[in-house]
């Protein structure tokens, strides 16, 4: 399979290098080369002045060798020829120390056609330094103007571009390039001895299209909304997750739907295919071919075509996501869900771009129908209080109480807790307000019943 | 120390070149890091990985603006290109000529490495993982899955700046982590433990890897019988060496001068004030030999040191890097750190700990009628501006009538830093350092250590589900 991602080809030198490595494969060896190069710019503005300006270039190569079911890997953060030779020989040497695994192999083209997505924006590539600085300055001004109680901690502009070539002895040959940019801002609102924080951002491929006004408004609102907040009493109630929080929650759910976790006995949904695991109006799809998704891609981390997979449909568990390894071992096939963090690692398995099938109502309409609930604006400590193996879910939170259909007093320094299994079954409504956040899952408002709030 | 990453005279020329566009301060940070990692999962050594990261980051400061560029090309031409980019980034014009004369700093090493990772065979490294797997599985038939990771790194660092500083350092770290899954009637539970020090392969002569594996396995097995954690506020006793992350989150981050300088710390303007009971003394110490956060120099070439942050309950000082110290016209404290040559330094902790109190740890439990005993904390995070922080309980038990009773399922604890610090009402005499940690700030991770004696917090909110 040979694909060229997007309308713009990558530097042929990268493809040649990947081909050259693969051509050095010895009899009985599978070899894969992943070659990448990238550039990034970041600007941080504080009180109208540039506080930091970073301009950076990076490149690297990762080589994977498999022989007799044993895998070895090595990488280097440079493409100079001597280092590349050393990487290949180190990867070969590392093969000796792996345990033979009958399922270990590189991906083989599976005939699923790649649907091209244009991930490159020429306007961004040509965007000038001063314009980048101005965007951050403009965002800072807009945010300060949005609310007089606001201080700005920092305003950022950042962009990046990258090109990648992957080739293997099993017939994978793919390359592509993409770029993107964002602005973000951190805000502070003083409240006696305490200070509340907020943030706002806008993401896209075209810097001219970034919505600074919304970023400024949300950054100001998130901080000022918490003024006067207190610690609530402990009790059970309905929670309304803000789109940004829902996206994080879906990120946790995704690890339970991971085919590799299933075969290794680490998924609480193993052996539950075909069963009801969620409320009937929960339909969860992983679709990296949707160009609206921040993590949209046309190929996965092994170079197979990315594709749309329905994981939960009408509350019923339909399938897990697989890389070629987990698919082979589970007796099925790759679902195009190999994930890879760059040249420093080998592909794993995971969801690429999750989305809950949206409902119909806006957050305001949803809130107006609730008599006693809490809107969760932000969570803290998902990495420490959530266990995707046992299903225990506990996270720090802050937000606003909902009483008789209206937002009431702000609350902070509490936790919300349940289990992942129960939360999926306790979903009471899925909002219609899809927000394509810069995360692996799209956000929308999500209502979950019967969650324990711990405070005083 | 092996030969320098970059020649002395090249450094001087690159720094002068970096200042051409009018910068007041220029710095070259170069590193060459070789690492090996190996992963075991599902009874198999999945893969051995060799890595090489080598490059330089160049920083130029003019007024309040920092320009930064990095490159993987350590030739004079590559460094000069990065220096020009950083200089241009820091400045829109101006210019001048300044020459730089470097003075090499005396070597400063904390601890000594006896078994460098590159002298150890890969076979010996993966053998550690096999031992871990076997020991964890032998801990009980309910252990159904084990994964473990081995990692070592040897990093050579060179820092030179236009104030004449030239410092070279070498950091060797070795780490082992293990995670076990146990399966029982009420579902699966996990256990986790780790071992890591700023030393070489001698780590495994000094510590018993089987014991680390058994601790992780026992944690998973114990939790099979666990009941949901309570919901609400109550006293919490934290075992020695398992909860230094409490101080890291509850006040450490808030004492970083960059956050204080922007008014995003609850500890702003509070030096000299009482912030904790008089038996609380908090130290950040980069010089503790072998500890995970040990450094010879910080990543700005400043020699590492021991800093007293809270003394007998009084806030004595913040932690400082070059920029923040320069702004205040005061000395740095050896806390300027960065993840790699691709990152700008900022104020970071090293090894952060609370010194011993006088209470007998058993008395602390005995004098607690009802509460939670945390034997192992997990990760945490803090909002430094509000002071609210959380941390996870990896292993916890109920305390009933002064005795440790039933195990609890996982959950987060939440509190407010300044308040929790005031609420520590008992402090043990059994100080221990804890597990190796990675502290994340602004997208950068650096190795840190923490420690504390057994202690009691009068009231913390437990984020469980049981009423």
- Those residues with Cβ within 8 angstroms of residue B268's Cβ, 6 or more apart along the chain or in another chain: B260
Using CA atoms, how far apart are residues B266 and B320, in angstroms rounded to an integer? 17
- Residues B288, B387, single domain; the answer is yes
The phi and psi torsions of A427 (rounded to 5 degrees) equal -60, 125
Is residue B466 classed as helix, strand or coil in its secondary structure?
strand
* Inter-chain CB proximity B414 and A59 less than 8 Å: no
Residue B186 belongs to domain spanning:
117-154+170-223
**Does some domain include residue B372?**
yes
Q: What does the DSSP 8-state code read for residue B248?
A: I
The phi and psi torsions of A122 (rounded to 5 degrees) equal -70, -35
- Residues B175, B270, single domain; the answer is no
In this complex, which of B48, B51, B262 lies closest to A72 when CB atoms are compared?
B48
Q: Write the ipTM.
A: 0.91
**Does some domain include residue B402?**
yes
**Does some domain include residue B100?**
no
pLDDT: is A62 or A8 the higher one?
Answer: A62
Helix (H) or strand (E) holding A374: strand A372-380
Are B377 and B391 contacting, i.e. CB atoms less than 8 angstroms apart?
yes
Q: Is A180 exposed, middle or buried (0-12, 13-18, 19+ CB in 10 A)?
A: buried
Q: Is the pLDDT assigned to residue A6 strictly greater than 50?
A: no
Using CA atoms, how far apart are residues A453 and A403, in angstroms rounded to an integer? 16
The pLDDT of residue B97 is 61
Instruction: Read off the pLDDT of each residue in A439-448 and give the average, rounded to a whole number.
Output: 96
* Residue A391 contacts B where some CB pair is shorter than 8 Å: yes
pLDDT in tens, A260-279: 999 999 999 999 999 999 99
Q: What does the DSSP 8-state code read for residue B117?
A: G
**Does some domain include residue B442?**
yes
- Those residues with Cβ within 8 angstroms of residue B232's Cβ, 6 or more apart along the chain or in another chain: A234, A454, A455, A456, B461, B462, B467
**Does some domain include residue B357?**
yes
CB atoms within 10 A of CB B75: 12
The single residue listed with the structure tokens 């589900």 is B465
**Does some domain include residue B378?**
yes
Which residues of chain B make contact with A389, given a CB cutoff of 8 A? Answer: 181, 188-190
- Residues B352, B402, single domain; the answer is yes
- Residues B444, B343, single domain; the answer is yes
> What is the chain A residue with the closest CA to B36?
A74
Predicted confidence pLDDT, tens digits, chain B (467 residues): 456 899 999 999 999 999 988 899 999 999 999 999 999 999 999 999 999 999 999 999 999 899 999 999 899 999 999 999 898 888 754 445 667 778 888 888 888 899 999 999 999 999 999 999 999 999 999 999 999 999 999 999 999 999 999 999 999 999 999 999 999 998 999 999 999 999 999 999 999 999 999 999 999 999 999 999 999 999 999 999 998 888 998 889 999 999 999 888 999 999 999 999 999 999 999 999 999 999 999 999 999 999 999 999 999 999 999 999 999 999 999 999 999 999 999 999 999 999 999 999 999 999 999 999 999 988 888 888 888 999 999 999 999 999 999 999 989 999 999 999 999 999 999 999 999 999 999 999 999 999 999 999 999 999 999 87
In Å, how far from its chain's centre is CA A16? 30
| Domains: count for chain B | 2
Which of B182, B207, B223 is the C-terminal boundary of a domain?
Answer: B223
Q: What does the DSSP 8-state code read for residue A388?
A: T
Using CA atoms, how far apart are residues A321 and A235, in angstroms rounded to an integer? 37
pTM: 0.93
What distance in Å separates residue B389's CA from the closest CA in chain A? 8
What distance in Å separates residue A432's CA from the closest CA in chain B? 30
Are A445 and A246 contacting, i.e. CB atoms less than 8 angstroms apart?
yes
Which residues of chain A make contact with B89, given a CB cutoff of 8 A? Answer: 53-55
Both tokens of A160, joined, read: 């990046």
Distances (CA, A) of A159 to A54, A127, A244, B98, B197: 11, 10, 21, 33, 37
Is residue A149 classed as helix, strand or coil in its secondary structure?
coil
**Does some domain include residue B249?**
yes
Q: Is the pLDDT assigned to residue A420 strictly greater than 90?
A: yes
Are A351 and A258 contacting, i.e. CB atoms less than 8 angstroms apart?
yes
pLDDT in tens, A51-103: 999 988 899 999 999 999 999 999 999 999 999 999 999 999 999 999 999 99
CATH of the domain at B209: 3.30.2290.10
The phi and psi torsions of A444 (rounded to 5 degrees) equal -165, 165
The pLDDT of residue B92 is 54
Are A178 and B367 contacting, i.e. CB atoms less than 8 angstroms apart?
no
- Residues B217, B236, single domain; the answer is no
CB pairs under 8 A between A and B: 264
Which residues of chain B make contact with A416, given a CB cutoff of 8 A? Answer: 463
What distance in Å separates residue A344's CA from the closest CA in chain B? 8
Which of B223, B241, B258 is the C-terminal boundary of a domain?
Answer: B223
Q: Is the pLDDT assigned to residue A361 strictly greater than 60?
A: yes
In this complex, which of A50, A93, A381 lies closest to B412 when CB atoms are compared?
A381
The pLDDT of residue B1 is 43
- Residues B433, B323, single domain; the answer is yes
Domains along chain A with CATH numbers:
2-222 (3.30.2290.10), 229-456 (no CATH)
Nearest to A282 by CA among A324, A246, A244: A246
Using CA atoms, how far apart are residues A103 and A331, in angstroms rounded to an integer? 10
Q: Is the pLDDT assigned to residue A7 strictly greater than 50?
A: no
Q: Is the pLDDT assigned to residue A5 strictly greater than 80?
A: no
- Those residues with Cβ within 8 angstroms of residue B151's Cβ, 6 or more apart along the chain or in another chain: B35, B36, B37, B38, B173, B174, B175, B176
Are A396 and A379 contacting, i.e. CB atoms less than 8 angstroms apart?
yes
Which residues of chain A make contact with B144, given a CB cutoff of 8 A? Answer: 265
- Residues B402, B281, single domain; the answer is yes
- Residues B253, B216, single domain; the answer is no
- Residues B360, B388, single domain; the answer is yes
What distance in Å separates residue B123's CA from the closest CA in chain A? 6
Alpha helices, DSSP H only, in B29-120?
Answer: 76-90
Which residues of chain B make contact with A456, given a CB cutoff of 8 A? Answer: 232-233, 461
**Does some domain include residue B136?**
yes
> What is the chain B residue with the closest CA to A234?
B232
Using CA atoms, how far apart are residues B70 and B20, in angstroms rounded to an integer? 18
- Residues B263, B212, single domain; the answer is no
Are A97 and B48 contacting, i.e. CB atoms less than 8 angstroms apart?
yes
Are A362 and A432 contacting, i.e. CB atoms less than 8 angstroms apart?
yes
Using CA atoms, how far apart are residues B68 and B86, in angstroms rounded to an integer? 5
What distance in Å separates residue B189's CA from the closest CA in chain A? 5
- The full DSSP string for A279-346 is -TT--EEE-TT-TTSTT--SB-TTSPBP--EEEEETTEE---B--HHHHHHTTS---S-EE--STTS-
In this complex, which of A90, A395, A412 lies closest to B388 when CB atoms are compared?
A412
* B-proximal residues of A, 187-216, CB under 8 Å: 188, 193-197
- Those residues with Cβ within 8 angstroms of residue B66's Cβ, 6 or more apart along the chain or in another chain: A51, A52, A53, B59, B60, B90, B323, B344
- Residues B212, B237, single domain; the answer is no
Both tokens of B455, joined, read: 């202690």
Which of B204, B223, B242 is the C-terminal boundary of a domain?
Answer: B223
- Those residues with Cβ within 8 angstroms of residue B375's Cβ, 6 or more apart along the chain or in another chain: B239, B242, B395, B396, B397
In Å, how far from its chain's centre is CA B94? 40
- Residues B291, B433, single domain; the answer is yes
Mean of per-residue pLDDT scores for chain A:
95
Using CA atoms, how far apart are residues B194 and B242, in angstroms rounded to an integer? 12
Nearest to A183 by CA among A119, A142, A139: A139
């Amino acid at each position: 399979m040979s694909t060229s991602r997007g309308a713009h080809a990558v530097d042929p030198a990268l493809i040649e290098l990947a081909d050259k490595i693969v051509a050095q494969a010895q009899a009985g060896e599978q070899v894969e080369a992943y070659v990448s190069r990238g550039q990034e710019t970041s600007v941080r503005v504080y009180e109208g002045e540039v506080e930091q300006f970073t301009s950076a270039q990076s490149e690297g190569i990762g080589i994977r060798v498999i022989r007799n079911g044993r895998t070895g890997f090595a990488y280097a953060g440079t493409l100079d020829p001597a280092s590349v030779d050393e990487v290949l020989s180190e990867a070969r040497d590392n093969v000796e120390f792996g345990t033979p695994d009958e399922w270990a192999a590189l991906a083989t083209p599976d005939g699923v056609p790649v649907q091209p997505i244009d991930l490159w924006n020429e306007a961004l590539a040509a965007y000038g330094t001063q314009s980048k600085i101005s965007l951050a300055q403009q965002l800072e001004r807009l945010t300060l103007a949005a609310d007089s109680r606001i201080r700005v901690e920092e305003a950022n502009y950042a962009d990046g571009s990258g090109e990648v070539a992957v080739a293997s002895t099993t017939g994978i040959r793919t390359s592509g390039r993409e770029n993107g940019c964002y602005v973000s801002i951190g805000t502070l609102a003083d409240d006696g001895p305490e200070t509340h924080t907020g943030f706002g951002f806008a993401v896209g491929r075209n810097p001219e299209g970034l919505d600074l006004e919304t970023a400024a408004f949300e950054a100001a609102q998130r901080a000022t909304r918490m003024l006067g907040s207190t610690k609530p009493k402990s009790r059970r109630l309905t929670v309304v997750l803000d789109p940004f929080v829902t996206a994080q929650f879906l990120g946790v759910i995704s690890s339970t739907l991971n085919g590799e976790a299933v075969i290794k006995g680490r998924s609480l949904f193993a052996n539950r295919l075909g069963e009801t695991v969620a409320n009937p109006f929960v339909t969860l799809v992983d679709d990296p071919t949707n160009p609206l998704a921040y993590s949209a891609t046309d190929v996965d981390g092994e170079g197979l075509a990315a594709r749309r997979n329905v994981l939960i449909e009408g509350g019923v568990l339909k399938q897990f996501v697989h890389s070629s390894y987990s698919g082979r071992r589970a007796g099925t096939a790759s679902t195009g869900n190999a994930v890879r963090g760059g040249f420093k690692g080998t592909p794993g398995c995971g969801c690429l771009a999750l989305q809950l099938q949206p409902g119909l109502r806006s957050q305001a309409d949803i809130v107006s129908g609730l008599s006693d609930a809490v809107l969760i604006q932000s969570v803290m400590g998902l990495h420490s209080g959530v266990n995707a193996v046992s299903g225990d879910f506990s996270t720090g939170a802050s937000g606003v109480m909902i009483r008789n259909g209206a937002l009431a007093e702000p609350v902070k320094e509490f936790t919300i807790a349940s289990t992942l299994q129960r939360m999926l079954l306790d979903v009471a409504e899925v909002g219609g307000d899809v927000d394509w956040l810069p995360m692996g899952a799209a956000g929308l408002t999500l209502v979950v019943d019967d969650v324990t709030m711990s405070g005083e | 120390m092996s030969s320098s990453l970059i020649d002395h005279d090249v450094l001087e020329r690159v720094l002068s070149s970096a200042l051409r566009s009018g910068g007041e301060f220029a710095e070259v940070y170069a590193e060459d890091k070789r690492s090996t990692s190996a992963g075991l999962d599902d009874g198999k050594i999945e893969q051995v990985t060799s890595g090489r990261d080598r490059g330089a980051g160049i920083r130029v400061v003019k007024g309040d603006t920092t320009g930064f560029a990095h490159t993987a090309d350590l030739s004079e031409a590559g460094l000069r290109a990065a220096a020009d980019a950083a200089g241009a980034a820091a400045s829109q014009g101006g210019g001048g000529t300044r020459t730089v004369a470097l003075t090499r700093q005396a070597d400063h090493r904390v601890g000594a490495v006896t078994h460098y990772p590159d002298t150890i065979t890969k076979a010996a490294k993966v053998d550690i993982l096999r031992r871990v797997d076997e020991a964890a599985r032998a801990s009980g038939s309910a252990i159904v899955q084990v994964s473990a990771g081995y990692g070592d790194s040897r990093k050579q660092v060179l820092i030179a700046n236009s104030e004449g500083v030239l410092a070279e350092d070498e950091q060797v770290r070795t780490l082992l982590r293990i995670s076990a899954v146990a399966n029982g009637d009420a579902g699966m539970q996990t256990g986790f433990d780790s071992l890591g020090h700023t030393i070489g392969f001698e780590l495994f002569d000094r510590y018993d890897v089987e014991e680390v594996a058994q601790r992780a396995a026992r944690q998973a097995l114990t939790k099979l019988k666990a009941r949901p954690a309570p919901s609400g506020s109550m006293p919490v006793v934290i075992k020695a060496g398992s909860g230094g992350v409490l101080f890291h989150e509850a006040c450490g981050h808030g004492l970083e001068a960059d956050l204080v300088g922007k008014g995003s710390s609850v500890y702003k303007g509070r030096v000299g004030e009482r912030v904790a009971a008089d038996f609380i003394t908090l130290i950040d110490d980069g010089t503790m030999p072998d500890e995970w956060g040990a450094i010879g120099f910080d990543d700005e070439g400043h020699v590492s040191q021991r800093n007293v942050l809270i003394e007998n309950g009084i806030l004595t000082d913040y932690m400082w890097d070059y920029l923040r110290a320069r702004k205040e016209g005061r000395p740095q404290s050896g806390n300027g750190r960065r993840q790699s040559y691709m990152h700008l330094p900022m104020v970071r902790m090293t090894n952060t700990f609370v010194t011993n109190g006088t209470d007998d740890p058993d008395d602390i439990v005995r004098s607690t009628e009802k509460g939670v005993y945390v034997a192992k904390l997990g990760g945490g995070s803090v909002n430094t501006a509000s002071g609210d922080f959380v941390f996870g309980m990896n292993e916890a038990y109920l305390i009933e009538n002064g005795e440790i009773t039933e195990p609890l399922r996982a959950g987060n604890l939440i509190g407010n830093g300044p308040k929790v610090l005031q609420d520590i009402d008992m402090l043990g005499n059994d100080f221990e350092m804890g597990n190796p940690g990675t502290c994340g700030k602004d997208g950068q991770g650096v190795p840190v250590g923490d420690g504390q004696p057994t202690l009691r917090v009068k009231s913390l909110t437990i984020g469980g589900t049981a009423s």
